[in-house]
Structures are given as structure tokens and as C-alpha cells.
Structure 1
Amino acid sequence: MNSPLNHSNATSPHMPSEAGATAIIGLGKTGQAVARFLLERGVVCSAFDESADACMDFPMQDNVKFELHTGPFNAELLKQYSQIIVSPGINWHHPVLQELRHANIPMYGDLELFSQQYQGDLIAITGTNGKTTTVSLINTMLDVLHGGIEAGGNIGTPMLDLIRDGQPQRVVLELSSFQIERANPIHPHWAALLNVQPDHADMHTDMAAYEAAKVQLFARQSEGDKAMLPADSHWDKLANTLVERGVFVRRFGIGSSDTLDSGVQLHDDGSWHLFWHHYDITHEIASDDVPAQGMHQHLNLAVAAQAAADHGLTASVIRQSLTSFRGLPHRLQSLGIVKGREWFNDSKATNPDAAKAALTSFNQVVWICGGLRKGLDVMPLQSAVSNHVEHMFIIGTEANPFVKLAESSGVSYKFVKTIEQAVKQAAQLQNGVPVLLSPAAASQDQFKNYMQRGDAFAAAVQALEMDKHNE
């Protein structure tokens, strides 16, 4: 039998029910995992969420005290707790949290709890774009090893749920900058930084702070550990620092397998190949043989292939995984050919850099774009739009920046507001150019999240298919 939460309004300060209690800020997916983890270990805790719609049916054991406070965060009340655990969706620079830090209240996120408890082989992946694809393929490939592997963090299962009932032999974590910055440096034995691109401007003070949070992933790596970094020179200083500590540093990117550990390279016959290394031996596979599309996705797969090779998987197993991996929903996902053209759902492209990677994967494309920009400038997309976009359909509430982008790029456009209208009008174009939803913006102006936006796009395309059958 589940006991109901004790509910109160956080605007009325009172002492926690027991000394030494822990406050959990945010009772979303991560916050609930933190609560489960602590309560099962006998730690007294309460949850705080500014939303009145915060979870009210959190499963509880009988006779367990667990209070939920909704409404604006109250610093005086929170100061009564011995420690505070902040969910990644809560702004780390929230004024109340800043006040609590100034009061020297210990404050961190779920990654700190995980790192204190987990003793197995930890693989960690961070980056602005591509984390989920990379982690998913690593999880699929390494699951064939003795003892298998568990995946979690910013993907799927909250990381603390992975260790509720024991210690998995291996864990691969997808880590956001928010999770990394809210913990003392962790110690992954194999870690990769995929990229750092403008995003989350609303949650970090500046790009330097955003990059610093990502780089903290490598702070405790030492002799015998492996680090994977992008090939561009911006990361040379970090690579040299890690090498001096005895870390084996790998580099990946678009280039030659003679100089890079993994990546994508162009052969003399004009074909592209994805490659990785097992010791000094280069292994590769033709990009055309990989179902997941897009150069940026192939780079992510190359990183995953290198991780698999470093953990002992044979080249044949890695090739089999690459040729069977069809990518993930909402990430340059083909929805098939409808009305004489192919439709691609890339709703996960919530920033301009992600959209640029998608656009440059095509010769020409009809582009559906727009949404909540989060302060990011879309004008750096001008070259990609000029060279790869035939027509733009603009959706969302922030149309003007995309209109200016279209006009400066010399591309025809139409502001249609909704995805449904964009799909209907794109289907009426006479050419057979593919249609790409790659918004270059967040979704919260019209949708709950990028997944709901992608599902709406897929439903609109499916409706075209149904209309075709009814003709």
C-alpha cells in the first residue's frame, strides 16, 4: 500500500521533521530517483518544487515520512536542511540557490551521490549534441561482454536507479553540463567529449562556464584512463594536460585514419568511410553501409566504435552493430517516402549547430524550422541555408530571426506557425526534394518537449499517407 505525500506550501517556514534531513529541489524524473535512493537507505528527506503540478503520487513505503513543498522556493526554510540535492532541470544560478550557497549549505546533484556509491567500470559521455546516440550504441555493443552494461544519466534510466539493487559491472552515463557541474569531479575510466556548441545560454553565465562544466568530466582521470576529444586544435591544451597525467588521449573527427583514432574519412574514389582503431590496426566501414544518416551521426558512431574496441570487442561485432543501428527517434530519423518525397524528423536539433549538421547532410532540402531560440543567434546558419535549403517553412513564436535568415540567404520562405501547416504545404511543392524538420530551436513555445514536437511532425506526415490511400 502506498502512503500519500505530506503536502505543504513552502511559503510557510518550519523546521524539517528530523535533524539532518536532506532537501531535494525538483521532483521530476531525477528528483524522484534521488528520493527513492535516499529513502531506501533510511535518509530523511523532503522535496521542493515550484510547480503546483509536481508529482503527487510518488510511490512510498508505509510509515515513511516524505514531505512535498510546492510554490516559490523559501531560503529560510531550506537553510534548516543539512544538505540540498538539486535536479538538473533547476537553474543552478537560481537566486535562492545562490543564497543557500553563500550560507555554506552543501549542495550538489545526483551525480555526486552516484559517484560516492559506484565502484565499477564507468564510461561517461558529454557534449552539446550527439550524447544519446553515442551512449545508446555503446550500451548496445558492450552488452555482449561478460557482465553486460547499464546505461543511464541524462538518457532513459536515472543513474541512481542503476545502483539501487547492486553494482553493475559497467555503466555508461550520458552527462549534461548541469549534472557535471553539480558534483565533485567523478572518475570515468573511459570518457568522451563530443562537442561544445552554443546552447543552454539561459542556464549558464556564458560559454566559458558552459565549456568549463563539460571539461570537468576529465578532472580526475589519471594513469591508465582513456579520454576521447575532438580533433580540432581548440582541445590541444586539454589533451596535453591529460597526457601529462598519464591519460591515453584519443582524437576523433573528419580526417585521416593515419592521424586520428576514429572518425570519418574520404577515400580517393569519393566514398566516405567510418573508421576506428584496435591498437595499431585501422578498421573501417563504408558510410553507405551505415543506416543512420548524417556526417554528425557517423562521427558519434565512430566514437562509440572506438569505445567498443577499447573494451575488447572484435571488429566483426562492431561492424555488425554499425550496420544494424538505425539511429534514434527525432535524430535525423527517416519517416519514409510519402507524397513522392522522403521526410526526416530531426526534432532533437534544438540549437543552430545541430540544425547545421543536419542541413549539410543533404544536397537540397525543404527545411521546417523555428521555435524557442533561448537567445541563440541563427545567422551562423546562413551558409548552410544558402547552399542546402530550397524552401523554408517557419513555425513557432519567434519567426523574425528565421525570416531574416531566409532573406539574407536568398531562400524562399513562408511563416506557417504550426508543424501541421508546414507539412501540408511542403507536400504540395512540385519537386521531390526531401523535407527536414530540424528546428534549430527549443520546442517549449508550442510543445512540452522536442519529443512531442517530433511526434506531431510524424503524425502529420502519417496523415498525408492516410489521405493518399483515401484518394
Structure 2
Amino acid sequence: MTLAQKDIKRMIVGLGVSGSATARFCQRMGWNFDLCDSREGLANADAIRQQFPDARLTLGPLDGELFCNYHQLIVSPGVALAEPAIQHALGNQVEVVGDVELFARGILAPVVAITGSNGKSTVTTLVRDMLVDAGLRAEMGGNIGVPVLDLLEDGAADEADVFVLELSSFQLETTTSLKPRAATILNISEDHMDRYKGLADYCLAKQRVYRGAHVAVVNRDDDLTLPEDEISAETGFTLGEPQSDDFGLQAGELNGVAGEWIVRAGLKLIHSSEMKVRGRHNLANAMAALALVETLGVSPAKACQTLKSFGGLEHRCQWVGDAEGIGYFNDSKGTNVGATLAAIDGLAQTPANIWLLAGGEGKGQDFSPLQDACSAAVKGVACFGKDAPRLQQTLADVAKTASFETMDQAFAWVQQHAESGDIVLLSPACASLDQFRNYHVRGEHFCSLVGEVLNGG
């Protein structure tokens, strides 16, 4: 027997940003729900009780027996499905979903779904901007900015032409009904190894983005992004010469400026010198965005006009300034090895001229893939934070290295060594939580250090 929505007993597990948005959504829908969080000392507990007076709030260790009293658990992305209490509920036929699954069940407009280890936010923003510039009402959310269920406030579910979603592997674990118009895994590199059994387990979560997708947009340079199941249509992008109708690159000049053209089926679309963002990884991001918007009827030629004005996102290989011939770049969003490799590759010159600031909470990653990139393009590495010793040990044979407790100390060391023509790059390859509230705060701190240099401090 299928229960009416009003009769389903729901428990929202985890009261962070997405959990709170889920509670607001359930309240707007008039649904029956309770709340729980593993934190016994939840700072805003009283405010939550006032906001949701009809919901019972349970704090402390998650209780599998309690969960079995509900028909459905709505689990926040920050709560691992491997938690024994969640597994106990699953074993007793309790449905476990996430906020993206509820969102998918409540919309009719098409969805563009974007995941990957790196570049998700840049591509999601680019796609939204391209669609808006083409005259469509495009709503953006998910792992970037607005929680998905907040996108459905004030009739947006009926008014939106398309939803553009950045999705994390954690969100995809609890999503089965999305069926996007277009979906992509931009790239795969080790991340969140503290939550997954290994790279294969992480890939499996990412692959869920293709479930029911009409078109898959794949990275031809990364076999792990290829759909494991058959998809009705597929297009791709590559940093090499493209095959068939894929997007790719072709070396060439524009007005005497050397660079690379983004090409498609023999047609030159845009030259790298016409784009404000730097780095070949941003050329890959641009091609992915072009392929995604084309599935919604926006021509790549038209979408390239957006590329010419797009300045990139804060904390993502963001140019901060130049002082005494030294360029400073903030890539604080580089929270894993793959992101840092992309940042180094995007800024690399010959001879090597990058001074890298890296470190923080490594999340169990293998740092050895950084060795070749640092050997080719990096003069020195200033390691800081919790995993600084491990980073230094990995890179000591390929570049000048030093290990410090804080970013301030690492930055001061780099300042002593960098000279005109060099680049100072913050791309930590690690999470920030050992010393900073989040990567935003870490990036802002780096920018303040650079600001003192720019102002002659």
C-alpha cells in the first residue's frame, strides 16, 4: 500500500545547511517530520525548536532503533550512509533519501547535473550564465550556493526553464530519480578518501549522476568519467585534437597572439586569448559548459560570448595581483591533489617559476601525483598545517621545500625566495579545517597577506 504524503513519517538526519533547507521544504509542504543531529551541543537548537514547533528534535549519537519508527530518512550529505544507525534502518526497509532526491520528485523542468573532483563550481556557474545570456530562466544550486530545495520556494518549480545543479558524491549517494537532460563527470581524482573505501568506491558514487540522463558529457582525457551504463547520447571534450563532433583544442594565433582555439567539427569557436580566465583546465571547463548548454538548444557560438566576459570564481586560480614582477594566485578551493595539479598545469611556464603554498588536512590522499608536476613547473613548496610534514617528505626530492605550522610563516618564506617573473600560488591540495573555518576564509587570509605586499607593507 502506498502512503499519502501526509501520512509518511519522516526523520531529517543532520541539521546543517541542506538539512535546515529540507526542514523548511517539508514544513511548506505540510508534511509530518522530525529532526535529529549527532551534535549534542547544537548551537542553534532553541531557534530550530521555535522554527519547527511540530517537529521533535533529537540530539546526540544517531539511534538506529529510533530510525526504524519512520518510513523515510532524509539524510544530509555530511552524514555518511555507512553510519551504523543508517545501515540498521536500511536493513529494516526504511527508505533513505537526500534533499536532491526530494527535489527530483517535485520538478518538471529539465536539469543539467554537474559533478567531478574539480571545476564543478566554475562549470555550474558558466552554464547558468550561458543559459541566462541566451534568454532562459536558469536556477542554480546544489553544492554551490543555494540548497536545491530552497530553489523551489515562491513557485520557482513552475517558473524555471532549467535547473543547473552542482552535485557532490555525497549528494549523489542518496539520489535515484533525477534523470537529467545533460550530466557530466568533469574529472576524477582522489578526494574524500576518509569517507570512501578507495577510488573505485568514490567513482561509483560519481557515476550515479548519469542515471537516466539523456546526454552524457564526458572528458575524453579521463576514462573514469565515461558512463559505465549505456546512455542514449554522448558528447565529449579533450585538451587534444578532437575526434568526431567532440570539442577540443587546436594550437594557433589570433591577431598575432599565440594560444589555443576551442574547436568543434572543424569550426574555430573562441581563442584562449579572448578569455579572461587562465589555464588549460579552464579551457576544459569552458568546453564542458559549451557541450552542456548545447543540449538545451544554445549554440556554442552564442555561448562563447559569455566566455569572453566570464572572470572566474573567487578562490579558484584567482589572480590577486602583481608586485615587483611576481604574480599572486589564490586557488584555496584546491582542496585535493587533482585540483592542485590542474592549477599548476594551468600556470606552468618554462623554466619552472611557481612557488607553491600547500597543506592542511590531507583527507588520507596520496600526494605522490604532485611529484612530476612540481619537478617540471615548481621552484619551491612551502608546506603548512596538519599534513605539512607528509607533503614535504613527498616533494623534498623534486623541489626546494620547507615545512611550517601556519600559512603566514609559509608565505614569509616564499617572499624571501620569489623574484621577478615568478608566480606565488596558494593551491593547498588539502582541506582547510585544521586551521580555517573553510576554504573561503583560507583564501581570504592569503589575499590579505598578498594585499600587504601590494600596499608595500
Please report the TM-score for the alignment, with normalisation by the length of structure 1.
0.87
Distance 1:413 1:62 in 2: 52
Partner of 2:190: 198
Partner-residue secondary structure (3-state), 2:42: coil
Partner of 2:233: 248
Distance 1:255 1:203 in 2: 34
Q: Is the 8 A contact 2:207 2:228 kept in 1?
A: no
Distance 1:259 1:421 in 2: 51
Q: Is the 8 A contact 1:255 1:266 kept in 2?
A: no
Q: Is the 8 A contact 2:326 2:418 kept in 1?
A: no
Fraction of identical pairs, as percent: 33
Please report the TM-score for the alignment, with normalisation by the length of structure 2.
0.90
Match of 2:23 among 35, 48, 52: 35
Partner of 1:161: 150
Residue 139 in structure 1 maps to residue 128 in structure 2? yes
Match of 1:273 among 251, 255, 260: 260
Match of 1:123 among 94, 108, 112: 112
Partner of 2:286: 301
Match of 1:215 among 204, 207, 217: 207
The answer for unaligned runs of 5 or more in structure 1 is: 1-17
Partner of 2:96: 107
Q: Deviations over 1:264-312 (max 9, x none)?
A: 33349994434254xx563421112211111112201111122233433
Distance 1:80 1:103 in 2: 10
C-alpha change, 1:405 and 1:122, in structure 2 (3 Å) is same
Distance 1:240 1:121 in 2: 21
Partner-residue secondary structure (3-state), 1:408: coil
Mapping of residues 365-380 of structure 1, within 5 Å = 365-380=354-369
CA drift at 1:376: 0.6
Match of 2:9 among 21, 28, 53: 21
C-alpha change, 1:312 and 1:274, in structure 2 (3 Å) is farther
2:298 maps to amino acid = L
Distance 2:114 2:450 in 1: 33
Residue 188 in structure 1 maps to residue 180 in structure 2? yes
Q: Is the 8 A contact 2:185 2:206 kept in 1?
A: yes
Partner of 2:3: none
Match of 1:292 among 263, 277, 287: 277
Partner of 1:4: none
Match of 2:406 among 389, 397, 418: 418
Distance 1:58 1:35 in 2: 13
CA drift at 1:239: 7.4
Match of 2:428 among 435, 439, 445: 439
Q: Deviations over 1:426-471 (max 9, x none)?
A: 22325121100011111111112111111111111112233x1x6x
Q: Is the 8 A contact 1:128 1:195 kept in 2?
A: yes
The answer for unaligned runs of 5 or more in structure 2 is: 1-5
CA drift at 1:316: 5.2
Partner-residue secondary structure (3-state), 2:113: strand
Q: Is the 8 A contact 1:257 1:282 kept in 2?
A: no
Partner of 2:382: 393
Aligned-residue RMSD, C-alpha: 2.4
1:107 maps to amino acid = V
Residue 356 in structure 1 maps to residue 341 in structure 2? yes
Q: Deviations over 1:246-270 (max 9, x none)?
A: x221011111245452233334999
C-alpha change, 1:406 and 1:204, in structure 2 (3 Å) is closer
Partner-residue secondary structure (3-state), 1:254: coil
Distance 1:63 1:428 in 2: 55
Q: Is the 8 A contact 2:238 2:284 kept in 1?
A: yes
Q: Is the 8 A contact 2:187 2:222 kept in 1?
A: no
207-216 or 104-113: which moved more? 207-216
Partner-residue secondary structure (3-state), 2:397: helix
2:72 maps to amino acid = Q
**How many matched pairs?**
441
